[in-house]
């Protein structure tokens, strides 16, 4: 395994070496597990460390955090902890445990267990490997179910026949990993998956767990590929039987991908964007208002997410038709687009082929959105204008004039304010 670890960035190697020291000091064996090990072997970048400890994960985490001087979040109930380093790196630490599923699709009963038990409770063989952390000489791979072989065969395989019954969200996870790595779901696993689908096991899972896995699919590099495969293996009826994306939806997904890259070029400073929500909204736009309401409630989406979806679905037709006109003033474009989220604007742009609309959106993003007034409330105050709702009214009028090129400088703005103020008082 040493050859894999050698390729890691210096900072990650140093973190692993410190974890090794904590393991020696506490006499608790510690292992890198899950996605980190899978991606290490595949040579895929993944710096989210996942550590499992034989003993007490929380105690280990406390000592580790002290050494790293990092923030520590302890989840007593689950016996887990998360370290968040200053550069944003996340390290999840747990105690080796086993799980028992009392009945189909129910949450598991978790108790302490050995490393093998901890690995055998996992979803797929490729995610069920551990790498012992310690001195250089004993960094060995623990791979009880043949995960490394499956990685080289490029296949997703469950660890036992009841895996999908225990946790049907693994149906979505299997598809996600298969599509992400261009692997294949291994034939007997595929048979088990198909059986689980035909028993409608996904509908037995609580909505918020499905939501989390669906969001993860939409966060993948190629969500069109993910949803296409999901439709062919399971459909989206666990969300709504009316939800049937087709060729044109996948085409729209591709266009969204292009628009997101363009947006990131315009705002390289990494403006926070919920990219998954754009794809999700594109799916919701296939449905009527009542159905969307039902879905957003059953998936327990956040208020802000629900609002962004709804405002797009309700305003889409009107805004597309208005923005498709050729001659629109800057202020008009601003007033149409300003109330929308960036997610909605990107989706509008991906949805329509109208050249005028595309130009107006580009102008909004590149120019109008960043327009700021020179004047502030202080200026209004020193002109003797009494604070109140009139301030907003004046600012809106000056901004309109500025967007339309009628004022430019600080002096222009002041002159206009005086004029507006006079006419307000008349």
Which residues of this protein are in contact with ligand ATP, per CB under 6 A? Answer: 34-35, 46, 50, 122-123, 127-128, 167, 169-170, 173
Whether the Cβ atoms of residue 366 and residue 266 lie closer than 8 Å to each other = yes
Q: Where are the alpha helices (DSSP H) in 92-237?
A: 115-120, 147-153, 163-166, 169-181, 187-198, 207-218, 223-233
Nearest approach, Cβ of residue 398 and ligand ATP (Å): 48
Strands 49-53 and 90-95: parallel
Q: Checking phi first, is residue 157 left (phi over 0); if not, alpha (psi -120 to 50) or beta? A: beta
Whether the Cβ atoms of residue 48 and residue 36 lie closer than 8 Å to each other = yes
Nearest approach, Cβ of residue 84 and ligand ATP (Å): 15
Residue 112's H or E segment, with its range, is strand 109-112
Task: From residue 152, give the alpha-carbon distance in Å to each of 145, 307, 352.
Answer: 14, 45, 43
Whether the Cβ atoms of residue 156 and residue 186 lie closer than 8 Å to each other = yes
Nearest approach, Cβ of residue 159 and ligand ATP (Å): 9
Task: From residue 93, give the alpha-carbon distance in Å to each of 196, 318, 360, 391, 425.
Answer: 32, 50, 49, 53, 66
Nearest approach, Cβ of residue 43 and ligand ATP (Å): 14
* Nearer CB in complex with ligand ATP: 173/228: 173
Ranked by CB distance to ligand ATP, the top (closest) residue is 35
| Axis crossing angle, helix 187-198 with helix 169-181, rounded to the nearest 10 | 140
CB atoms within 10 A of CB 299: 18
Nearest approach, Cβ of residue 169 and ligand ATP (Å): 5
3-state secondary structure of 71: strand
* Nearer CB in complex with ligand ATP: 197/309: 197
* Nearer CB in complex with ligand ATP: 155/169: 169
* Nearer CB in complex with ligand ATP: 125/349: 125
* Nearer CB in complex with ligand ATP: 75/289: 75
* Nearer CB in complex with ligand ATP: 179/341: 179
* Nearer CB in complex with ligand ATP: 158/399: 158
Nearest approach, Cβ of residue 5 and ligand ATP (Å): 18
Nearest approach, Cβ of residue 258 and ligand ATP (Å): 24
CB atoms within 10 A of CB 131: 23
């Amino acid at each position: 395994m040493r050859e894999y670890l050698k390729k890691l960035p210096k900072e990650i190697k140093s973190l692993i070496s410190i974890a090794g020291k904590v393991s020696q000091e506490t006499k608790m064996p510690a292992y890198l597990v899950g996605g980190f090990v899978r991606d290490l072997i595949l040579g895929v970048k993944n710096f989210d460390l996942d550590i499992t400890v034989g003993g007490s994960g929380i105690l280990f985490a406390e000592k580790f955090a002290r050494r790293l001087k990092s923030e520590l979040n302890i989840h007593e109930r689950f016996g887990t902890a998360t370290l968040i380093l200053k550069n944003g790196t996340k390290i999840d630490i747990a105690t080796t445990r086993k799980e028992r599923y009392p009945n189909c699709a129910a949450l598991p009963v978790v108790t302490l267990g050995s490393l093998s038990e901890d690995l055998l409770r996992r979803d797929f063989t490729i995610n069920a490997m551990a790498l012992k952390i310690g001195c250089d000489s004993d960094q060995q791979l623990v791979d009880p179910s043949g995960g490394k072989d499956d990685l080289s065969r490029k296949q997703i395989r469950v660890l036992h026949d009841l895996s999908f019954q225990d946790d049907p969200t693994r149906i979505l996870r299997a598809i996600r990993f298969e599509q992400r790595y261009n692997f294949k779901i291994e034939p007997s696993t595929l048979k088990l998956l198909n059986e689980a689908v035909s028993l409608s096991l996904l509908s037995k899972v609580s909505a918020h767990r499905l939501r989390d896995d669906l969001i993860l699919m939409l966060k993948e590099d190629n969500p069109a590929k993910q949803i296409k495969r999901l439709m062919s293996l399971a459909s989206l009826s666990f969300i709504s039987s009316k939800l049937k994306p087709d060729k044109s939806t996948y085409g729209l997904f591709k266009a969204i991908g292009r628009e997101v890259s363009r947006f990131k070029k315009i705002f390289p400073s990494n403006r926070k964007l919920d990219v998954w929500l754009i794809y999700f909204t594109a799916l919701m736009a296939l449905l009527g208002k009542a159905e969307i309401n039902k879905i957003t409630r059953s998936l327990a989406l956040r208020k802000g997410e629900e609002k962004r979806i709804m405002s797009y679905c309700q305003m889409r037709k009107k805004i597309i038709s208005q923005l498709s006109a050729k001659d629109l003033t800057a202020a008009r474009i601003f007033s149409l687009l300003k109330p929308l989220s960036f997610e909605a604007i990107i989706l509008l742009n991906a949805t329509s082929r109208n050249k005028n609309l595309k130009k107006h959106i580009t102008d909004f993003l590149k120019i109008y959105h960043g327009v700021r007034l020179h004047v502030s409330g202080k200026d209004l105050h020193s002109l003797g204008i009494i604070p109140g709702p009139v301030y907003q009214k004046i600012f809106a009028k000056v901004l309109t004039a500025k967007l339309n090129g009628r004022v430019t400088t600080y002096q222009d703005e002041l002159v206009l304010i005086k004029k507006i103020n006079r006419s307000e008082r008349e």
